[in-house]
Structure 1
Amino acid sequence: MNHRAVWAIYKVEMARTLRTIMQSVISPVISTSLYFVVFGAAIGSRITEVNGVSYGAFIVPGLIMLTLLTQSISNASFGIYFPKFVGTIFELLSAPVSYLEVVIAYVGAAATKSIGIGLIILATASLFVELHIQHPFWMLGFLVLTAVTFSLFGFIIGIWANGFEQLQLIPLLVVTPLTFLGGSFYSIDMLPGVWRTISLFNPVVYLVSGFRWAFFGHGDVSVEISLAITLGFLAVCIGVVAWIFKTGYRLRT
C-alpha cells in the first residue's frame, strides 16, 4: 500500500472542501436546519409524536440521512469527474498508484466530509430538540457505512458521467426523491397497507430505518434487514468499481 500516494490524494480532496467551505459545509447545514424548522413547525403542530418520540426528534435521523446520501454522492462524483474534465486523470492512471489506492483516497475523502457534515447537523439538531441516542456505537456505524457506500456510488457516477448534466442526473432525479419517499419525515407504518408494501421496495427505507433504530431503539423494519441491505449495496458498488478499473470503462476515452 502506497500510503503517501493515498494521503496526497486525500489531502488534496480535503483541501478543496476548505476552499469551498460555504458550498461544502455551511450550505447543507443551513438547508437542513430550514427543513427542520419548516417540517417541525408545519407538521409537528399536527403530529406530536411518532412511536412515542416527539416529531421534532423523529425527523432528525431522516434529515441527517438525506444530507449524508446527497453529500456523499456529490463529493465523490465531483472529486473523480473533475480530473476527467480537465484531463489530469491520465496523469493519475499513469502514476505508480494502484486502483485500490485511488479508490481509497477519493472515497475516503468524500466519506470523511459527509460524516463531518452529518455530525455537524446532529449537533445543530440537538439545539432544537432533546435527543437521546440509545445505540451510539451503531449510530456511528450506520453513519460510516452509509457514507462509504454512497461515496462509492458517487464515484461510479463520476466515472460514468460525460458532462455536468449527467453528474447531477441520478442524484436529483433518483436519489433525492427516493430519500423523501423513504420515511425521512414519516414512518411508513402510517401509510395504508398497499403503499407501505410499495415503500418496502425503496432501498432508502432500510437506510433511514436502521439509522433511526440506532437513535430510538425501533424502526420501520428490523435492524438486521437494514444492515443486510446496506452491506449488499456496498458489495454491488465494490464490484462495479472493480469492473470499471479492470475494463477501463470511461477512464481512457
Structure 2
Amino acid sequence: MNLYAIRAIYWFEMSRTFRTLLQSIASPVLTTSLYFVVFGSAIGSRMGKIDDVSYGAFIVPGLLMLSLLNESISNASFGIYMPKWSGTIYEVLSAPVSYVEVVIGYVGAAASKSIMLGVLILATARVFVPYEIAHPLWMVCFLVLTSVTFSLFGFIIGIWADGFEKLQVIPLLVVTPLTFLGGAFYSIRMLPPLWQKITLLNPVVYLISGFRWSFYEASDVNVSTSIGMTLVFLAVCLVVVWWIFKTGYKLKS
C-alpha cells in the first residue's frame, strides 16, 4: 500500500476545502441552521411531540442526514471530476499508484469533509434545539458509514458526468427528494398504511431511521435493517467502482 500517494491525494483534496471554507463549510452549516430556526424553533414550538421527542429535536437527525448525503456526493463527485475536466487524471492513472489507493485518497477526503460538516451541524443544532444522543457510538458509526458510502456514490457520479450540470442532476433530482420523502421531517408511521408500504421502497428511509434511533431509540424500521441496507448500498458502490477501473469507463477515453 502506497501510503505516500494516498496522503498526497488526500491532503490535496482537503487543502481545497480549507481554501474555500465559506463555500465548503460555512454555506451548508448556515443553510441547515435556517432549517433549525424555521422548523425547529418557529414551527416546532407550535407542534406536539413525535415518539415522545419534541419536533425541533426530532428533525435534527433528518436535517443532518440531508446535509450529509448532499455534501458527501458533492465533495466526491467534484473531487474526481476536476482532474477529468483538466486532464490531470491521466497523470494519476499513469503514476505508480493503484486504483485502490486513488479511491481511498479521493473518497477518504470527501468523507472526512462530510464528517467535519456533520459535527459542526450537530454543534450548531444545540444552539437552537435541545437534543440527546442515546447511543453516541452508534451515532458515530452511522455518520461515518453514511459519509463513506455516499462519497463512493459521488465518486461514481463524478466519473459518469461529462459536464458540470450533470454533477448536480442526481443530488438535486433524486437524492434531495428521496430525503425529504424519507422521514427527515416526519415519522412515516404518520402516513396512511398504503403510503407507509410505498415509502419503505425509499432507501433513504433506512438511513434516517437508523440514525434517528441512535439519538432517541425511536425508529420507523428495525435498526439492524437500516445497517444492512446501508452495507448493501456500500457493497454495490464498491462493485461499481471496481468495474469502472477494470474497464476504464470514462477514464481511458
TM-score by length of 1: 0.99
Measure, in 1, the Cα distance between the counterparts of 2:167 and 2:132. Answer: 37
Q: Distance in 1 between matches of 2:43 and 2:196?
A: 20
What is the CA distance between 1:252 and its match in structure 2? 1.1
Alignment map for 1:1-253 (pairs within 5 Å): 1-253=1-253
Identical-pair percentage? 70
Q: Could you list the per-position Cα deviations for residues 41-62 of structure 1 after superposition, in whole angstroms to 9, with x for gaps in the alignment?
A: 4531442210000011000000
Secondary structure of residue in 1 paired with 2:127: coil
TM-score, structure 2 normalization:
0.99
1:194 Cα deviation from its structure 2 partner: 1.0
SS of structure 2 residue aligned to 1:186: coil
Q: Deviations over 1:63-119 (max 9, x none)?
A: 110000000000000000000000001000000000000000000000000000001
Aligned pair count? 253
The residue type paired with residue 127 of structure 1 is: V
**What is the deviation of 1:37?**
1.0
Runs of 4+ in structure 1 over 4 Å off: none
Q: Which amino acid aligns with 1:201?
A: L
CA distance in 2, matches of 1:123, 1:59: 15
Counterparts of 1:17 and 1:44, CA distance in 2: 33
Is the CA contact (8 Å cut-off) linking 2:36 and 2:129 kept in structure 1?
no
**TM-fit CA distance, 1:129:** 1.7
CA contact (8 A) 2:107 2:148 kept: yes
Across the aligned residues of Structure 1 and Structure 2, the Cα RMSD in angstroms comes to 0.8
- The alpha carbon displacement at 1:190 in A equals 0.6
The CA deviation string for residues 123-158 of structure 1, in whole angstroms up to 9 with x for no partner, is: 010111222111000000000000000000000000
Moved more, 67-76 or 186-195: 186-195
2:41–2:128 contact (8 Å) kept in structure 1 = no
1: CA distance, partners of 2:69 / 2:124: 18
- The whole-number CA distance in structure 1 between the counterparts of 2:117 and 2:165 is 25
